[in-house]
Structure 1
Amino acid sequence: MPDTDTLIQHYLEGTLTTAEAEELHELLKAQPELGERLLQQFDMDAMLRATKPLVADNLIRPALLPKRRFTFATVTSVAAMAACITLLGTWLMNAALNLRPEAEETTASVAVLTRGVNLEWDSATITPGTPLSPGWLKLKSGIAQIEFYQGARVLIEGPAELQLVSSGEATCTRGKLSAQVPPQAKGFRINTPKGTIVDLGTEFGLDVSAANEEVHVFKGEVELHQPDVTMKSLKEGQAMAIAGNTAMLSANASSFASLNELDARSAISQRFQFEKWLASSSKLNADAGLRLRFDFQDDEGSRSLRNHAVNGTQISDGSIVGASWTTGRWPGKRALEFRNVSDRVRLNIPGETQTLTMAVRVRVNGLDRTFNSLFMSEGWGDRKIHWQITREGKVRLGIAGSNGAGHADHDTPVFFTPERFGRWTHLAVVFDPAAKEVRHYANGELLTRSTLKDTEALKIGIAELGNWNDRRSSGGVAIRHLSGAMDEFALWDRALSDAEIAALAK
């Protein structure tokens, strides 16, 4: 049998025999790098053909060969060559796909709201943990701590208006702020209507009112830049009005919020929210339509979740498998962490459910799988339900048809983007046959409503929080566990209203 180079040459010349074509086909399958050599030969052959002089008219041309009938050998040779070409085309396509760079997710955020106390906003409501993109923050009252991606930490006191410009720059047009700027964030800038403060690695305060603007330096040094005025340098202990009377003043740290003050007020606020939630739990547990409620306040180390619904005697406690205890929304609030394929809470919802509302407090850390479970019936089919989050970030309620009929997926628009990972979120979904619709909510606000074509009762049966058992007897089980935590779950056999869900989310 000829060597590889000879086989390639015969292929280019069109003189491959059937046996040679089969041999080249096998070589291409066994040696993927041979495809690259074949491509190089194609390029060389094409170049030579393009530069080869035309045959002179006075040269004797070879006589045409007589037409021959196709034989079986001819057909098999052509088939083998076609297989080589197909294999080469597949190799080229795979190579092109491997060379294509994978699209990378991006974010426009430049800072993050890390903490807040008694926050009320004139702009869109923002909760701690929210990444912040360039734009205006208008704080009506409270204290907010913002950490810029370059490292500067800023406390703003409402009422205040702050425009984020970049990871190292902001503009304050109203209110008080204090800033801590570590050496790696040197050059951090705060603009005001009357000037710009450039920090050289320090701590300073800024008070912007309608009457005046003052900068106070607590540590280090800042530069004060103003239009048509020589730059001024302010050092530790010094303060100055940005316009008007520019006499040097003494810095007054006590007139600005400090991190210690934020720590103290934050602890008081969190304790108040936790106690308020505890007080409201007894009323919620007595709701006539509530069939299941896990508050996740079971003893640490417990391997079950108690059902606190007064009218939920038909639904037994949940059984914890794998999942570990962690801290919930506030200090003292417990939660379960779901990290591994084993982590889940097993429960059973017997009988048929004519109308359904479910609500959960969840912290999603990532969407690592095609489907990420919130609450899913075991197996699939015959009016079972799957409440889950897709890899794209859509919240989905899937409802199986009866007796092998097709299923229906009720999706939200994309909600869980990377900016929402790691934050506590309140989700709710309503199966409302009377209104012939499914409604999805996030943090008390309606996300979407979709038409419900099949209003037949649901048959939830055995189900799992944070995971799914597809009941396969062999071949492995689909991986759909949640990457995140839960600290509250409830299920009603009635359709909650928009107002009721908004109240739950507070």
Structure 2
Amino acid sequence: MSNEPSPPTDELIERYFLDPQSLSDAEQSTLVRALQEDPSVRSRFRVAAFIDAELRFESSGEETSSPSITAPTGLGDAWPKWILAIAATLLLFGVLGYLNWPATPQQTQEPIANQQSPPATPEVATAIALLDVGHNQKFEPGFAPSGSEFHQGEYHLSEGEVTLTFQNGVAVSLESPARFSIIDPMRMQLDHGRARAIVPESGHGFVIETSTMVVEDLGTEFGVVVDDQQNQELHVFAGEVRLHEKNLPPELLTENSALAWDNHTKRRTITPDDGAFATSMSIGYKRWLDHSLQLRQDPAALFYFDFETDSRKSAEVVNRATTGIVDNGQLTSGIWATGRWPEKGAMLFENTGDRVELNIPGTYDQITIMGWVQINRYDFALQTVFNSVDYSPGQHHWNLTRGGSLRMGLSGQYDLTSKQTLPQNHWTHVAAQMDAKSQESVYYINGEEVDRKQWTTSIPIRYGPSSIGAWGHTNRAGQVTYSRDLRGRIDEIALFSRILSADEIREAFEAGSNFQ
């Protein structure tokens, strides 16, 4: 008896469809047993059989096709006996399932005269994929998803970009114009456009097919292009794919490789172009940028800092709000850094005294503040996100505790510590509404309300001299000193002189959340 390890199941399936006689008796038994015990193996075997039948039919030259799938040609008039055992096994599963199906009332009870059957409940089809993120997307009538749900069928994306997430975790990003069909959770067809697939282990074996090729995932990230003239490209960015072409044996392509085909020449090798395909991240950045432009143009915006700069030596933090009420912030110390996306700027607060100073004139009956923060470390009992200098009646403070909770307060009215915490080294959206008219404050983390607090009296809200990243307080000598240093990044923070609704806060979170 041989002590050599058995080949992987995928290899056995591939060898069967290339040459079933190449499998030894032991390998045949291994494959049969795997098909009997593992539903995923049966699924991959069916996909392989379908691909093999399609390729053999295309190469046969026949003008019409039959809906049935026959045994691969070249194997004689009958299937090998051991593969008939597989078919029998699959049939047995179906028979046993039928015999063990729970009996219905009609099968176990005598019919009752004039009994009316309850109306049939319509069967709701489960979506195969969901819209993960989109930017200015528009679908042609009759070829559009049902809301955010994509079922089996054909779709025409006429404008914008989308990323779909399949049941198995596969993410496919498409750019308009695109015509594509969703066949099942493991297969889609691209007739025109650009598609990029990012396939996790749970989606191993996912397929994108075109009119002339089938691209089978082997744990990959890859892109497929089909243009107006049916010129095609395949780019492999990570992992491996198995390429099936007409009249050719399957071929393995590895990462950092790319091929192109057209109607007039044979295929050629090209340079893979990672930047030529949309991803969930790139689509998310465009969506956030559109939303950012809306926020900075809000008539109630007092300041809007996006921490973008033309020079990383700049000591000025530009206030993008168009109202002109608050001047640009002054960077005392801090590090210009990268934010949620590679294209996005941020301010890194790392050292003692790192802060942005600003002055906010006036008093307000309503305030909303929100932003994106990433905490690297919790070094102190309290760390400052955004505070007024000192803490006089009506002034608002926004800190974090050493445990990661929001620690908020309005001087003379309340202090509040959230039960929910901010994780380290992860971007988190935080927001607050303060209403002197209703005497209530509400706080949010990642678009969801986490706490609210009633005030005892109505008092106008004010800031005056303030800072982002550290708290300034006046000592006995009349000097302002700073403490409660933040240890992390902020890449967006804004203050409005109105109450943004819960829906607006949730929209801001969702618009900025596709950064990974």
Structure-1-length-normalised TM-score: 0.49
Structure number with greater Rg is 1
